[in-house]
Structure 1
Amino acid sequence: MFRKVLVSAAMLAAFGHAYAMVDVNTAGEDALLGIKGIGQAKAKAILDERTAHGPFKDPADLGKRVKGMGGRTVERLQAEGLAVGPAGAAASTQVAVAGPKEPAAAAQAAAQKGGAAVAVKK
């Protein structure tokens, strides 16, 4: 019985690690060091490049801009849980674009339902 519980816990831990993605465009040094295959020097190179030239657009952009990271290395790091690309950037852009319009839309919806709405200027 104990053996089954131990094996189940080990499997859950392995699957949990596989699904814990680290976004290269928002991660700090500690998060990058948590990815198998990224050491102190590589984490520093990623952070320095991101700080100097902005977020990475896609895996190919990461491979081109960070010395020593070719296509295969980036693919391997993605398999280890490194996320690169427009998925994170699109979500941030979508929130930034939708943010200012949201209060007006909420006020309009409330007015259509006959309720009161308060508009706040920023």
Structure 2
Amino acid sequence: MHTFIKSLLLSLALCLPAFAGQPPVNVNTADAATIAASLKGVGQSKAEAIVAWREKNGSFKSPEELAKVQGIGDKTVAANRELILVEGTAANTR
């Protein structure tokens, strides 16, 4: 039993970093490199498209507006909902 508990604790300790997750990113202020590093399924070129859209059209008012950026779809927005900040608030609190 003692060995089982040790194994269980070791397994939990190894899993904790996976649960820590990425910190949210404010898509209205972050640069392309930060957006690419923070959002799942968003590489450098898509992140640059997000920044270009923001510079042309102004700040994103909701996470859903990211889907207006070419290459970013509803699935990408949904997959990153917990990571997207607009105006300093988490997207899931809107």
- Flag whether TM exceeds 0.5 (same fold): yes
Match of 1:39 among 30, 43, 52: 43
Instruction: Report the equivalent of 1:15.
Output: 19
Q: Using the alignment, how far apart are the partners of 1:50 and 1:17 within structure 2?
A: 26
Stretches of structure 1 that go unaligned for 5 or more consecutive residues are 90-122
User: What is the TM-score of this pair, normalised by structure 1?
Assistant: 0.55
Pairs within 5 Å for 1:27-66? 27-34=30-37, 35-64=39-68, 66=69
Point out 4+ residue stretches in structure 1 off by more than 4 angstroms.
Answer: none
RCO (CA 8 Å, sep 6+): is it higher in 1 or 2? Answer: 2
* Letter aligned with residue 14 of structure 1: A
Segments of 5+ residues of structure 2 without an aligned counterpart are 1-5, 90-94
Residue deviations 1:29-48, cap 9 Å, x none? 23212222111110110111
Q: Is the 8 A contact 1:33 1:40 kept in 2?
A: yes
Paired with 2:35 and 2:7, the residues of 1 have a C-alpha distance of 35
Q: How many residues are paired up? A: 83
When residues 36 and 4 of structure 1 are mapped into structure 2, their CA distance, relative to the original with a 3 A threshold, is: same
Q: Provide the secondary structure at the position in 2 that maps to 1:43.
A: helix
CA contact (8 A) 1:57 1:84 kept: no
Shift of 1:12: 2.1
Q: 1:9 to 1:36 in 2, by over 3 A?
A: farther
RMSD across aligned C-alpha pairs, in angstroms? 2.4
Identity of aligned residues (%): 36
Q: Give the counterpart letter for 1:22 in structure 2.
A: V
